[in-house]
Amino acid sequence: MAELAIANNLRRLRFDHGEMTQDALAKAAGVTRQTIISLEAGRYAPSLELAMRLALVFGCPVDDVFHWKTPPSEHAAHPPARDTQ
Tens digit of pLDDT for each residue in 7-35?
999 999 999 999 999 999 999 999 999 99
- Alpha-carbon distance 82 to 34, whole Å? 42
Cβ neighbors of 68 (< 8 A, separation 6 or more) are 5, 6, 7
Tens digit of pLDDT for each residue in 34-53?
999 999 999 999 999 999 99
* Domains of the chain by residue range: 6-62
- Alpha-carbon distance 13 to 55, whole Å? 10
> How would CATH label the architecture of 6-62?
Orthogonal Bundle (1.10)
